[in-house]
Amino acid sequence: MHAIVGWLEGLPIQGTTAAVAVLSGLITATVWSLSRRSLLRWSAALVGPFVIADALYRLPALLDATASEDGSWRGLFIAIWGIAGLTASVLVALAWTLTSRRGK
């Protein structure tokens, strides 16, 4: 697990933003394919990216890495990563909705 944290810390903000966007899109696609409940689907697409961004931001602290400016940068990083993930999730959700309607 420490290897993952080291890899993530070595990435520039664009790399970590892309990681959150990809994870958000994958989770949205998975939930969208497995669930028929609209509330669960849209919750995963709209809230999931911010949960992933928060988890990614907290990962080094959970593994006992020292982060002196943990609180001061938290909102900025979670907002940037969350918005990128939200964009990816909504695009996946809309694409999934459009393709499923055409198939009927």
Going by pLDDT thresholds of 50, 70 and 90, the confidence category of residue 85 is very high
Calculate the dihedral angle through the C-alpha atoms of 42, 98, 36, 19, rounding to the nearest 10 degrees.
Answer: -50
Is 35 strand, coil or helix?
coil
Identify whether the C-beta of residue 5 lies closer than 8 Å to the C-beta of residue 59.
Answer: yes
More confident residue, 26 or 63: 26
What average pLDDT does this structure show over 41-70? Answer: 80
More confident residue, 63 or 89: 89
Determine the Cα–Cα distance for residues 102 and 99; give it in Å rounded to an integer. Answer: 5
Residue with tokens 């499923």: 100
Sequence spans of domains, the chain: 13-102
Q: Is the pLDDT of residue 26 over 60?
A: yes
Determine the Cα–Cα distance for residues 44 and 24; give it in Å rounded to an integer. Answer: 9
